[in-house]
Chain A
């Protein structure tokens, strides 16, 4: 059963068409990278898949049902969109511990800090981190807990080249273990490194619609 299916998905915002009859299928264990210029509808597509935006037309199925953004949904789906609001009084470590507490079964915090190169800043407030470090923390909170589907909106932004390679390997490992990833990205090298299926989006339409072959 595919993890993500959209059929003729359409969205209008502010009087304009943002998504125009998008058909997308992502199978289990697959990485689908949606690429395209700014404003072409990549983020809107991810918002629809996460249940945070109700489409104007068409159908969306995520893990077999319509995305609901309810607690059961977030147990299975990790979303990285714009930078999250941080608790200014919580340290980096405490944010990760909070995720471990709320989701259960997350990776050990020390290991996560090490993998996302945040060990030296574990006691710092996220507000004092550099923008790249905050992006790594946002990625860590999304990826260091169990899930079956990751929706990532430009995960590579603000990351240095070295960590981008590392991120590609992490996402590839996640998919190899059976998880599904749908991401929006501008980084062609990342797509290649992940061995992802690339789809082009233009003016709200997918250039290569239909079932995605791995």
Chain B
């Protein structure tokens, strides 16, 4: 064995720079992007998906502005008072939600590897954190600009189109930047961060409830007075000032930004890294659940003396009961479709999509146990309980949650005038089984299979990996066809609820039976 040796420690007691100084963060990042690690000669078609994504995204984002930009010299009438007020409430809620998401995610967020190798090093802290801060800032500005443009399209442009548009986008961008900046400042402090999260949640809830109240008031709402141009410009200037002050405070604080909250955020990112936002509520819920229980001690209660499958299913009931805020959030989210229907009454597909997505989210709240077990096969083996009774028992809670959520949402849509006739709430229990099956299917899909065989596109010759596609479609492949009677009825202004309820109940029974039969055949 050769004589072991390690570099001589600094024993001179000096705390200054070492003889050979450490590199800059820029040099370290350049090394991480070393060309040696890149694949050789990428084909142009390899860039197809990113470019197509940016193109489609840009076209979608351009939509809200199209009407504004078409002719800024022509006065644009405001939306009906109810629509404008509800839209304003939704914009405020979105701004608060952005701050809340930023506070939960970081917003000063590094990947776990960067946090380990760059943050816990002698590299200049500001240089290490600057890219993360810029990412958060750009995201905030983009979201804020879209919100500002959308709000202006609701309030109308009586005069000075270009100035009003500038004021709207500057206001949106700067207030969003201020919110995310405040989240970055709060991230430094163990006391401030929970307070900011509470304030942002409270603001979002208040805005949603205000919007729902306005929507319920309907025709009784008076038209909004026109916002004078100086007031709009003053609001933009105030927002800009707030954003500047916050940005300077964040920038100055980066030098001494503590490592612990960034490491915590990186750990949360790591925990959420195997999930994607697309229709996968576990992304935020898993992060929030881990953070919630890290600070608390769960009460120990004896398990009921039931058969194994029922006890295993009871795990989800118990978990949900210990997080009453989740149930409250689900209950509150039943307002979202009615708010969307009030702001965009001519786009029934929009609130139908919201019903689909949020109904799935409600069912997914009862599938946490399956999701955890999918992520950890050892956990599944630990219980040693499987088979048809287990699958059937685990369907109950998701079905109950989805049924209750759909019933509530449809019962609210009916009096708001978004649906013709009466009796829509019966579609909720009739459809309950389908989101439950879809949620369990989503919970079992696990990680994206990046090793799946790619499909070669006949026109371009580029290879499209199938793993992410099958992952995304898992669950939706059951939910969309299984809820067709409900979705078709919601998007048809002349539909009657009776036949749709009957068709939906029959289809739900079919989906449930098919799911259980398939699980029985191939456990």
Contact = CB atoms under 8 A, between A and B. Distances in A.
Interface of A: 1, 14-16, 28, 51-54, 63, 68-72, 74-76, 79, 84-87, 89-90, 94-95, 97-99, 101-107, 111, 114-115, 143-148, 166, 169-170, 173-174, 177-179
A76 B258 CA distance: 17
B131 interface: no
B66 interface: no
B190 interface: yes
Given A74-B120, A105-B19, A169 B4 contact: yes
B260 A54 contact: yes
A53 B295 CA distance: 14
B263 interface: yes
Interface string B232-264: 000000000000000000000000101110010
Q: Is the interface of B mostly helix, strand, loop or mixed?
A: loop
Given A98-B28, A99-B117, A146-B18, A179 B260 contact: no
Contacts of B1: 166
Interface stretch (B30-38, B90-98, B310-318): B30-38
Interface string B106-139: 0000011101111011111100000000000000
B2 A115 contact: yes
A115 B5 contact: yes
B381 interface: no
Contact of B7 (A15, A52, A69, A106): A106
A102 B11 contact: no
B294 interface: yes
Contacts of A98: 28, 31-32, 117
A51 B7 contact: no
A111 to B, nearest CB: 8
B121 A51 contact: no
Interface residues of B, number: 50
B20 interface: yes
A146 B4 contact: no
Contacts of A143: 6
A104 B22 contact: yes
B21 interface: yes
A106 B20 CA distance: 9
B297 interface: yes
Given A85-B266, A101-B27, A104-B18, 14 more contacts: A1-B13, A52-B263, A53-B260, A54-B260, A69-B258, A84-B113, A84-B116, A101-B28, A104-B19, A105-B19, A107-B5, A173-B4, A173-B5, A178-B8
B19 A102 contact: no
Contacts of A99: 117, 121
Nearest to B30: A101
A30 B31 CA distance: 36
B6 A71 contact: no
A14 B291 CA distance: 11
A151 to B, nearest CB: 11
A45 to B, nearest CB: 16
B270 interface: yes
A79 B117 CA distance: 11
10 contacts: A14-B295, A15-B296, A51-B260, A52-B259, A70-B125, A75-B18, A94-B37, A102-B122, A111-B5, A143-B6
Given A84-B117, A90-B32, A98-B117, A71 B10 contact: no
Contacts of A53: 260
Nearest to A102: B121
A71 B125 contact: yes
Nearest to B36: A94
Nearest to B7: A107
A105 B7 contact: yes
Given A16-B297, A104-B22, A174-B6, A85 B113 contact: yes
Contact of A146 (B9, B123, B294): B9
A173 B5 CA distance: 7
B23 interface: yes
A145 to B, nearest CB: 6
A146 to B, nearest CB: 5
Contacts of B258: 68-69
A14 B295 CA distance: 5
Nearest to B273: A85
A80 to B, nearest CB: 11
Nearest to B257: A70
B15 interface: yes
Nearest to A101: B23
Contacts of A105: 7, 18-20
Contacts of B296: 14-15
Contacts of B256: 70
A74 B32 CA distance: 20
Given A52-B260, A69-B258, A85 B22 contact: no
A28 B11 CA distance: 9
Nearest to B256: A70
A72 B258 CA distance: 12
Q: What 7 pairs between A and B have smallest CB-CB spacing?
A: A178-B11, A85-B112, A179-B9, A75-B122, A105-B20, A69-B259, A104-B22
Nearest to B10: A148
Contacts of B2: 114-115
Contacts of A16: 297
Contacts of B112: 84-85
A150 to B, nearest CB: 9
Contacts of B9: 146-148, 174, 177-179
